[in-house]
Amino acid sequence: MKSANNLFKFRTLGLAVAVLLSGCATQQDLSRYSANTYSPSQLNRVQEVKTVDLISILPARVAVDNSANAKRNAEAGALMGALIGAAIGAKSNSRSYSNAALGGAVGAGVGSAAGASTPTVIYQEGVSLTYVYGGRPLSSTQVGKQCEFKPGPAVMVNTEGNSSETRIQPNAVCGSK
């Protein structure tokens, strides 16, 4: 009976850690990658602007690295699991030090595994924009929503002073005709 009771406690530990970490696994705000979001170093600076003609707006998915969040969640899971496991182990019977150590070790493993379930890559809604500039068709893929763009004139901002990084600014508003 005592073994079944400990098994129940460790299963409860696993469930508790998983529930606690489920809040950590929420998708991060990726709006910082949008064309109309600027870093402080880009404010109050001259940026070259060009007018382009959008001819195609297609859906795209942008893969964003989430490994830092996954690592942080695994570490937090291990710590929470160790604390909860040690507390459960200490309460299990009179040999509280050895049971607390065992509970802490098992809890750290369970918590780390639960935290490691956070994806290392997350996908953000994006657009693949085909445009004409200087008589040549070109393409740019960026974070954004299809409804933010429509065929026709659009502004392309060169944010770094070279031609490699450009942002095509939204030329439509979602929800309007």
Question: Is residue 176 included in any domain, yes or no?
Answer: no
Question: Is residue 23 included in any domain, yes or no?
Answer: yes
Question: Is residue 159 included in any domain, yes or no?
Answer: yes
Asked if residue 125 lies in contact with residue 61, where contact means CB atoms within 8 angstroms, the answer is yes
Q: Which tens digits make up the pLDDT trace of 72-127?
A: 777 777 777 777 776 776 666 655 566 667 766 777 777 767 666 777 778 888 99
Question: Is residue 175 included in any domain, yes or no?
Answer: no
Question: Is residue 177 included in any domain, yes or no?
Answer: no
pLDDT at 25 over 50: no
> Does residue 151 or residue 86 have the better pLDDT?
151
Q: What is the 3-state secondary structure (H, E, C) of the chain?
A: CHHHHHHHHHHHHHHHHHHHHHCCCCCCCCHHHECCCCCHHHCCCCCEEEEEEEEEEEEEEEEEECHHHHHHHHHHHHHHHHHHHHHHHHHHCCCHHHHHHHHHHHHHHHHHHHHCCCCCEEEEEEEEEEEEECCEEEEEEEECCHHHCCCEEEEEEECCCCCCCEEECCCCCCCCC
- Owning domain of residue 150: 2-168
Asked if residue 106 lies in contact with residue 87, where contact means CB atoms within 8 angstroms, the answer is no
pLDDT of 94 reads 55
Question: Is residue 99 included in any domain, yes or no?
Answer: yes
Asked if residue 89 lies in contact with residue 104, where contact means CB atoms within 8 angstroms, the answer is yes
The count of structural domains within the chain is: 1
Is the CA virtual torsion 76, 80, 85, 90 positive or negative? positive
Question: Is residue 42 included in any domain, yes or no?
Answer: yes
Question: Is residue 173 included in any domain, yes or no?
Answer: no
Give this prediction's pTM.
0.57
